[in-house]
Amino acid sequence: MTRLYLKIFITFWLITALIIVATNVVVHWFDMTPDRMQRSIDRDEEPAKRLLFQMTGAAINRNTEQVMQDMRSMPAWSTRFFYVVDKDNRDLLDRPLPPGVLVLLPKLTSRHPYDKVQDRNRKLFGRYITLNDGNSVKLITISPGRDDGSDRDILWEMFIENIWPLLLVSILISGSACFLLARHFTRSLNTLQKATQQIARGDLSVRVSKQFSGRNDEIAALGRDFDHMTERLEKAMLEQKRLIKDVSHELRSPLARLQIALGLAQQRSNGSVDKELERIKQAADYLNNVISDILALPVLDNGEWELDDALDIQVLLETLQENYRQDAEDKHIDLKLNSTVDEALVQTHGNMLIGVFENVLRNALHYTPYGGRITIDLHYLANDQEYIVHICDSGPGVPEEALEDIFEPFFRTDQARDRESGGYGLGLAIAQRTVALHKGKISARNLIDGGLCVSVQIPTEKKS
């Protein structure tokens, strides 16, 4: 058994002991013992007879004043089922005596202390006792009649009336103890859960062991292992990204020399090997584009750029619409811009956002078929204080299971595996990283009537 198991076991054991001890102390202190009116009970007897026996046992060692106090402390509904009559045939609570009680009283004497009578549909039971102050009284109990419910159990109802404070105390004690215990254990788990969520969002710098300082249990050990894991992951991710960028930089120099040599070869070939040289040029251009896009990817998802500039998204979208109007007309594509704002200023860094919308619009133009349509919608969401841009086309769309994957580096859908038609899978990844640097979101969904709609949300100001 581990220490954690023993800790849980002993803790719950101590809580149970605390409940038992505290409950018994409260019961003893307030004299709320559940069986104080249940001793020597025959469950087959009439409720009124059982009540008589219990009242007799409770009153015989008390004086007249104490008996009167006990009667007044009983629930109001129960006092109509019993009477305590003194030697002058007066009820101690000064109540008028029913006919049945008046019939039973003469039969109760010191030589004949117990008797019972039948009064219409009620049974009455009586007992003659002498209290500890020397006064003699007669206890009379009355069974419930039809008007009171033939199955009514007076003692059971009195037991419930008497036991609920005990139950309330037990519930409060156990609830408080279990709450503190649950909070103690779940605080550590909540810390790990929040850290895990931060890692899922790409923040590998999170550490939790400091929050478990001073502890030497399994949770603290788990926190240290968690920090060790995130530290290794962060280091591995940084090394991987730096390696890609270093390799990309190293490839730039021979690639530049290759392109220069290729240009000279084209000039001197006199057209004899132009076809082969053109293929080499296409491959070199493709490699150059891949390297450029890799270098454009931020090393860290949260970036190190300060959003120190401003950009009007409305003007940017109008410019892009004008720049790609000719490409749209060549394919007879209806390219429309719809905006509900006159100005859409957001914080940015340089020309970072230009590439986001240009890449999405270029993809839409590429996949929209001849005679199709592309709509660009710009809206302001007042509740979220952000602008949202929808760029929707009428192309083939993307498989539902790949809607999130298209923003991953080098991911291409099946219909986009060809380099000539689908590129190399970095454009949307760069767009996603760029939007994340602006504390925004980018997502894609398929339209019901066909086509893909990419939504870009950019806050009006930098969010913490």
DSSP assignment string, 132-157? TTS-EEEEEEE---GGG-TT--HHHH
3-30 and 154-200 are packed helices; what angle lies between their axes, rounded to 10 degrees?
150
pLDDT exceeds cutoff 50 at 37: no
**Distances in whole angstroms, Cα of residue 148 to Cα of each of 162, 296, 333:** 21, 88, 87
Higher pLDDT, residue 17 or 93: 93
Position 6 scores a pLDDT of 67
- Candidates 64, 41, 11; CA nearest to 158 is 41
- C-alpha angle 216-222-224 in degrees, rounded to nearest 5: 80
* Rounded Cα distance, 278 and 458, in Å: 42
Higher pLDDT, residue 110 or 158: 110
pLDDT tens track for 263-280: 888 888 777 787 788 878
CATH number of the domain at 47-152, please? 3.30.450.160
Which of the four pLDDT bands, split at 50, 70 and 90, describes residue 350?
confident
DSSP state of 291: H
CA atoms within 13 A on the CB side of 461: 3
Residue spans of the domains in the chain: they are 47-152, 218-296, 309-459
Position 29 scores a pLDDT of 61
* Rounded Cα distance, 214 and 236, in Å: 30
Which of the four pLDDT bands, split at 50, 70 and 90, describes residue 41?
very low
Mean pLDDT along residues 311-333: 93
Position 265 scores a pLDDT of 84
Least confident of 23-32, 59-68, 174-183, 319-328: 23-32
Mean pLDDT along residues 398-420: 71
Mean pLDDT along residues 99-118: 91
End-to-end CA gap in the chain: 45
* Rounded Cα distance, 159 and 153, in Å: 10
Number of CB atoms found within 10 A of residue 65's CB: 12
Mean pLDDT along residues 348-372: 88
Q: C-alpha 422: how far from its chain's center?
A: 41
- On whether the CB atoms of residues 110 and 132 are closer than 8 A, the answer is no
CA atoms within 13 A on the CB side of 12: 7
* Rounded Cα distance, 222 and 215, in Å: 11
* Rounded Cα distance, 51 and 41, in Å: 9
Higher pLDDT, residue 254 or 295: 254
* Rounded Cα distance, 429 and 422, in Å: 14
Tokens of 35: 């069986």
Position 388 scores a pLDDT of 95
Higher pLDDT, residue 95 or 299: 95
- On whether the CB atoms of residues 394 and 400 are closer than 8 A, the answer is no
Average pLDDT taken over every residue of the chain: 80
Mean pLDDT along residues 200-213: 84
Backbone phi and psi for residue 381, each to the nearest 5 degrees, phi listed first: -100, 105
Least confident of 246-255, 313-322, 422-431: 422-431
Strand arrangement of the beta sheet that strand 386-393 belongs to: 334-339, 373-381, 386-393, 452-459, 441-446
Higher pLDDT, residue 181 or 61: 61
Position 374 scores a pLDDT of 95
* Rounded Cα distance, 161 and 154, in Å: 10
Mean pLDDT along residues 43-52: 70
pLDDT exceeds cutoff 90 at 351: no
* Rounded Cα distance, 257 and 278, in Å: 16
Percentage helix, strand, coil, to 5, in the chain?
A: 55, 15, 30
Higher pLDDT, residue 351 or 334: 334
Mean pLDDT along residues 58-65: 87
Specify whether domain 309-459 bears CATH 3.30.565.10.
Answer: yes
What Rg value do the Cα atoms of the chain yield, rounded?
44
DSSP state of 336: E
pLDDT tens track for 211-249: 888 788 788 888 889 899 999 988 888 887 777 777 777
pLDDT tens track for 413-464: 655 434 444 455 677 888 888 898 888 999 999 999 889 999 999 998 654 4
- Candidates 360, 332, 388; CA nearest to 452 is 360
Tokens of 325: 């109007």
* Site of tokens 């790990």: 192
Least confident of 35-49, 387-401, 405-419: 35-49
pLDDT exceeds cutoff 60 at 113: yes
Q: 370-397 as b/e, with b when 16 or more CB fall inside 10 Å?
A: eebbbbbbbeeeeeeebbbbebbbbbbb
Higher pLDDT, residue 421 or 357: 357
Most confident of 47-51, 55-59, 410-414: 55-59
DSSP state of 91: B
Q: Report, at the CATH architecture level, how domain 218-296 is classified.
A: Orthogonal Bundle (1.10)
- Residues of the chain with pLDDT > 70: what percent? 80
* Rounded Cα distance, 2 and 222, in Å: 14
Tokens of 200: 């899922």
Q: Is the dihedral of CA 410, 412, 418, 419 positive or negative?
A: negative
